[in-house]
Structure 1
Amino acid sequence: MAAVRPLTEVAVACRHPDTCTAAAELARDLELPVAAAASAREAVRGAQIVVTATTSAEPVVLGAWLDPGCTVVSVGSFAPDRAEVDGEVLARAAAVVVDDVTTALEHAGPVVAAVRAGELDPGRVRPLGPIVAGLAAGRRSETDLVFYNSVGLGVQDAAAASVIVGRARAAGAGTLVEL
């Protein structure tokens, strides 16, 4: 995230704060202030970007906590029984964005739950590709809340791996291993 957005500070929340050791390491890696928040609610207070990375079946971030204009990225809700955010996040979102709409409607926990509950029209779920390519807008105004649920696609992983391998070869880095 820090490679593509100008971050000035980061807050980290863990389900068990006494085991949350990521803050110091992350601060060193990012060369930014990183605070260990006492709760998820405290961590998202005033945030422009919220990233959830848990395998929780219960929401850890609630839509009521989010400021207008926030972008929420859910990377742990990759199965229908995972739900890092509540339905209000999707209800408030001006854009519900996913890697692939068909896959997300079957696997992205918050999307599956919101569609089943009748809170989200499947037609509102948008693919990431056209947005990243600049062919479609991610948000229409600075106050739009955007929700992105990453389930992942093998073809995206292969494309990223191809770029990484190409750069490693060009830099003379790495070791070629015959499989």
Structure 2
Amino acid sequence: MEAGALTARRTAAASALASSYLSRQDSKRLLIVGTGRLSPNLAAAHASVRDFDDIAIWGRDASKAQKIVEELAAMGLRARPAQGLEKEAKAADVVSCCTLSHDPLIRGEWLKPGAHLDLVGAFTPQMKEADEAALVRSRVFVDTFEGALSESGELVQALKSGALKRSDIKASLFELSRGEHPGREHALDITLFKSVGCSLEDLAAAELCIAPPSPPMHDALAAG
């Protein structure tokens, strides 16, 4: 089992799971920010939980964005290179960032009411994919409190500056999955999910990969 591929898929799956609770069900426009290994996985995962009409890929290198578009086409997903980050972010219903940026790429003022922002790439206190305004305008959720509060540059820096309080973080992905928090509560809320990853996600993904397939329902009923 190749660790890099496993991590890419479980990271994308966690973002999609969070989106199923946090993004609007009528979301139609997806923007992927970044052109690394995670990008096609994130696009495919997000498309599995929402019926997008438009998928745009943004990267500093247009040729890499085009390559991601072609990879997605091979998966049966129609996508296109983004026309400009600000323009695309303002129009998107879901923005998913997977970069190694140390400077904010997404500005809070760009996010329209009802948008969902997924931040995956910044996994050290020095990295940052969105500015403080994005956090302040959003209802913030995390994959795990322990990881996000110590490793996420966006959260670490915003908490240090006082722009964000610990109580502003509404819930973890575990709490969303257990039904302990409703997730999105109002259509015009801006939601933000910050993921830094955790070993439990790797374990769960690995177990799913090696688990025997479940029998078809009619076979299970016959056996019973």
> TM-score, structure 2 length as denominator?
0.70
Indicate conservation of the 8 Å contact 1:12/1:43, yes or no: no
Hey, what's the Cα distance between the residues in 2 that align with 1:11 and 1:133? 32
Hey, what's the Cα distance between the residues in 1 that align with 2:135 and 2:163? 8
Alignment equivalent of 2:173, drawn from 109, 117, 128: 128
What is aligned with 2:47? Answer: 2
Moved segments of 4+, more than 3 Å: none
Alignment equivalent of 1:65, drawn from 110, 135, 139: 110
- AA aligned to 1:29 is M
- Closer, same or farther: CA 149–30 of 1 in aligned 2, 3 Å: farther
Hey, what's the Cα distance between the residues in 1 that align with 2:60 and 2:91? 20
Q: CA offset at residue 45 of structure 1?
A: 2.7
- AA aligned to 2:147 is T
Do structure 1's residue 170 and structure 2's residue 213 form an aligned pair?
Answer: yes
- AA aligned to 2:95 is V
Hey, what's the Cα distance between the residues in 2 that align with 1:92 and 1:98? 16
Q: CA RMSD in A?
A: 1.6
- Secondary structure of 2:92's partner? coil
Hey, what's the Cα distance between the residues in 2 that align with 1:45 and 1:6? 19
Hey, what's the Cα distance between the residues in 1 that align with 2:88 and 2:209? 32
Do structure 1's residue 28 and structure 2's residue 71 form an aligned pair?
Answer: no
Hey, what's the Cα distance between the residues in 2 that align with 1:129 and 1:122? 17
> TM-score, structure 1 length as denominator?
0.86
Hey, what's the Cα distance between the residues in 1 that align with 2:76 and 2:125? 33
- AA aligned to 1:7 is F
* Deviations 1:6-58 (CA, angstroms, capped at 9, x unpaired): 122101110122442212322332432x1211322122232111000101001
How many pairs are equivalent? 167
Hey, what's the Cα distance between the residues in 2 that align with 1:164 and 1:122? 36
- Closer, same or farther: CA 123–165 of 1 in aligned 2, 3 Å: same
Larger fraction in helix = 2
Hey, what's the Cα distance between the residues in 2 that align with 1:9 and 1:30? 13
Alignment equivalent of 2:153, drawn from 103, 109, 133: 109
Alignment equivalent of 2:195, drawn from 150, 158, 164: 150
- Secondary structure of 2:80's partner? strand
Hey, what's the Cα distance between the residues in 2 that align with 1:135 and 1:149? 18
- Secondary structure of 2:95's partner? strand
Do structure 1's residue 55 and structure 2's residue 100 form an aligned pair?
Answer: yes
Indicate conservation of the 8 Å contact 1:17/1:38, yes or no: no
Do structure 1's residue 99 and structure 2's residue 143 form an aligned pair?
Answer: yes
Do structure 1's residue 46 and structure 2's residue 103 form an aligned pair?
Answer: no
* Structure 1: runs of 5 or more not aligned: 172-179
Hey, what's the Cα distance between the residues in 2 that align with 1:92 and 1:132? 24
User: Once structures 1 and 2 are overlaid, which stretch shifts more, 157-166 or 49-58?
Assistant: 157-166
